[in-house]
Amino acid sequence: MKSLMQPCRKAFAVVRVPTPEEEQRRCFSRQREQLRRERQRPEATGRSLMLCPDNDS
């Protein structure tokens, strides 16, 4: 009951809004990471298929 009466300090935390330049850099970084994952996915599929000799596809 005591925990219900105490205010939640994290509910209204002050956050800093990134500048447009910071957001642009973050966006570039996110896109690069997404492209890296998209490239690695078919590579992993190919390696998996090479390890399975009984796979006819």
Sequential DSSP letters for 8-41: -TTTT---PPPPHHHHHHHHHHHHHHHHHHHHHH
Say if residue 36's pLDDT is above 90: yes
How far is the C-alpha of 53 from the C-alpha of 30, rounded, in Å?
Answer: 37
Q: Does residue 18 fall inside a structural domain?
A: no
Containing structural domain, residue 46: 27-51
**Band (3; pLDDT cuts 50, 70, 90):** low
Residue 33 lies in a domain: yes
Residue 7 lies in a domain: no
Q: Note whether residue 10 is domain-resident.
A: no
pLDDT band for position 39 (cuts 50, 70, 90) = very high
What radius of gyration, in Å, describes the C-alpha atoms of the chain?
23
pTM: 0.51
Position 3 in a domain: no
Taking only the tens place, the pLDDT of each residue in 11-33 is 778 889 999 999 999 999 999 99
Contact assessment for residue 18 and residue 25, using Cβ atoms and an 8 Å cutoff: no
- How many structural domains compose the chain? 1
Residue 28 and residue 40: Cα distance in Å, rounded? 19
